[in-house]
Structure 1
Amino acid sequence: MTDTTTAGRMSGEPSSAGLRLALFDLDHTLIPLDSDYAWGQFTVSLGWRDAESHTRANDAFYEQYKAGTLDIAEYIRFATGALREHGMARAHAAHQRFMQEVIRPAMSEAALALLRAHQAAGDEVVIVTATNEFVTRPIAQAFGVDELIAIDLERDPQGEPTGEIRGVPSFREGKVARVEQWLSARGFSWASVAHSTFYSDSINDLPLLEKVHEPVATNPDARLQAIALERGWRILNLFE
């Protein structure tokens, strides 16, 4: 794990000093892969999706995400196709295999240590991701993080996903709005947060990075790294 600056490190102040937030993106931040993309490819390996057409569409959506042009509603309809066709009972069983075969081997000691350091310092640790809650809830739990802000899936009366998003999607500016909702539900606001840190790899997360006290460009993409260098933000590489 390398850190290009010493500025803005965790102070370790007790929680009595006020609410301290440690916010983390997930994909390419805490894990060196995109969990949504990987789950899609895993469903291909199960024979749930046609390999050629799914991979072509999945790759196209991923390029749009990296470019900052993704239509999140369109993507969620695509990404939940396997869930809607095969049902949540089968999907949950498949996700257990996905965790064992894909996600757990990708969880690094450096990422776990960073999370534990914030927890030990008394910070409120929250994963804030643009990947949907079906894919990410078990991953957050595996990291020992109870608080997850992810894209919520609209469900039918039987609890099956409809392909639509429920509420504000936690994507780009929506991450700021969802954190505000999370704070408000607990009787807080941005103004009442004593200190906030956000770790992210992606230019898509610039709105939330600009909102917190301490933005940390973590395994940053080229565009985010350029901004971090220009603004003197801390740069952290967890996967070296």
Structure 2
Amino acid sequence: MAKELLAREWIKRWGKGKLQAFQDAFARAFGISLCLVTLEGEPLTVWSNSSLFCHSMMQNNRVRCLQERNHALQQTIETGKTTLSKCYLGVNFFFHPIVYQNDVVCLFYGGGFHSDEDGSEFNRRVNGNIPVLTKKQVYNVLTLLAETINLANPEVAVLVPTGQTTQDIPLLRQKLSHREIQIAQLMNAGLANKEIAEQLFISEKTVKTHVSNILSKMGLKDRMQLVFFCRQHNII
């Protein structure tokens, strides 16, 4: 019960809305399923980009799926490290531990993808239904998730006084226009181009142009790198 309370405190200090928005954006960016779960595997957030294939397989093979999931979950809790596993059907999944007050209090549970190294006949038949990630993409997913969570960890964030900014904030304002900063903040909140356009009363095409300019000016490759930059420099 104590760890469950700590997990809810961690979520509250992050902001459940921001956490869900980040989770949704991260899942969309990489085409994976993602959810924050308790130490027992129960959802604490709404599943993002939930894999219908995995859901169907779990309904038909619930006992075996739960055994494999729980084994990986316990391994993650015991080691405090991210665990990447593959179910008996060849679908990859992972657990990433959330450490708060020096203890694992909850976990990010993600997956629903194949690795390009998977070459079984079954995998070739179902590749059209679930995404296939290269080994490098899998590494990037796990690394970026870990780095973003660590940088946004409330235990770290409280070291920065409220309202205080880093030296990079004035630099950001020098590089971007007022409108571009608005759009960058909305992107960081997890809004899609269409949602940004509706909120700012501009066309979706204009938003796309601004997004391209923002990434170019900041020397970033994609939206996830922008989210990572914003959280790294306390631009939330």
Alignment TM-score, normalising by the size of structure 2: 0.29
Bigger Cα Rg: 2
- The structure with more strand, counted as a fraction of residues: 1
Relative contact order higher in (CA < 8 Å, ≥ 6 apart): 1
- The structure with more helix, counted as a fraction of residues: 2
